[in-house]
Each structure stands twice: as structure tokens, then as C-alpha cells.
Structure 1
Amino acid sequence: MANEPVYKVIFQNGSQVFEVFARQIYQSDMWGFIEVEEFVFGERSQILVDPSEEKLKNEFSGVKRSYIPIQAVIRIDEVEKEGSSKVSALASGEDNVASFPFAGMPPEQKESD
């Protein structure tokens, strides 16, 4: 368990960017999503409390698995150890840009007679 990988997942949620750490991440059976499990947060033994990390800890408390749309994912890194999770606002002007709608799988081609 000492060599269990830790992943840093950065994704957009509305007008905010979330940066979380997790031990399990994989493509979901639900098409167009990734699954993130086993969230990792900093120890409470620290004297200073990061309000951003506390917000994420509260938001994901009790969450067994989170499904994140692939279009919302900015970056996924495998890291040596977990860091501080955080929430940040998008830079001014970036929050009005949306992903191009993804139509899904292409329609089936009909055979010509």
C-alpha cells in the first residue's frame, strides 16, 4: 500500500476550478465521464487551516465516487504524494466560454440496397 499511486485531478465546476487528490481514477461505464474515488485530503493536525481545502473536504464528505464529465477535466497527473486540495475562480473572461456541445456517438450507417 506504500506504493499506491495518488492522482491530482484538476477540473472545472461552473465558474470554479477544483484541484483534488484521489487514489483511484478511471473511465466510467457511464459514457463521457471519469470516475474518481478515494479522495485524499490533508491531515487535521496542522495548525493552519486552508479554507479552500476545508470547503472541498466538506463538499466531498460522504462521497464514495464522483463522476466528472470528460469535457470538464483540465488535467490529471500521477504525483508522488498528495498536496493541498484547492478551489480557485476562473480568470476574468474565462467563465463565459463553454465547451462545444458533444453530440455523442456518430449515427449508425445504413446499408444501401
Structure 2
Amino acid sequence: MTARFCATVAKPGRHADGGKLYLRVDALGVARWTFMWVRGGREREAGLGSRHMVGLAQARELAGGMREMLAKGIDPLNARAAERRANAARVTFGECPDALLASKESG
């Protein structure tokens, strides 16, 4: 697969780059990168971003990171969800007005 092909392909379907990395194009021509694997008899798919936001080189890099996770026995989707939970700022409803007032205080 070449960068030019990725930028211009409009044929619907799943276009393989190798190493479980695919450029998936829907019927409307919208294309997105996906990484697919099978674990425990279950097919899994992780989105890596649209072709307009993620280039071929970056998609290959992201897929490489996911392959490393799989080699270590880590499910990439579970790891992504755990990271999101860890990074999520848990703000209660009562803390929202306090944060707003604190941000406006200097003005």
C-alpha cells in the first residue's frame, strides 16, 4: 500500500496493508484505519482514525504498538479503555460551579 493509494482510494471495502492493518472504505467513500485481530475465537477491531487525520506512516506506527501489546498478552481495546478511565477527570456536579468561579476570579 502506498500513501497515494490511501489518499485516493474510493472503492468500498477493506484494503489490507499487512500486519492486521486495514483501510476500511464505506459506500460513501469515507475511509478509516482499523486494526483487526482474533483473540479467544472472537474477532476484535480497533479504530485508529480517519485517513484525513491519520496518515499511512502513523497508522503503521499505531498498528505496531497494538501488535506489541498483543505479543505481551494485552488486549489493545481493554488497554485503551483502562487508559481512558485513568485519565478521565472525575468532576462532580457540585465541583463544576466552583471550577467556573475559580477560572473567572482573575477577571
Task: Bin the TM-score by the shorter chain.
Answer: under 0.3
| TM-score (norm: length of structure 2) | 0.23
Q: Which has the higher strand share?
A: 1
| TM-score (norm: length of structure 1) | 0.22
Higher relative contact order (CA 8 A, sep 6+): 1
Q: Which has the higher helix share?
A: 2
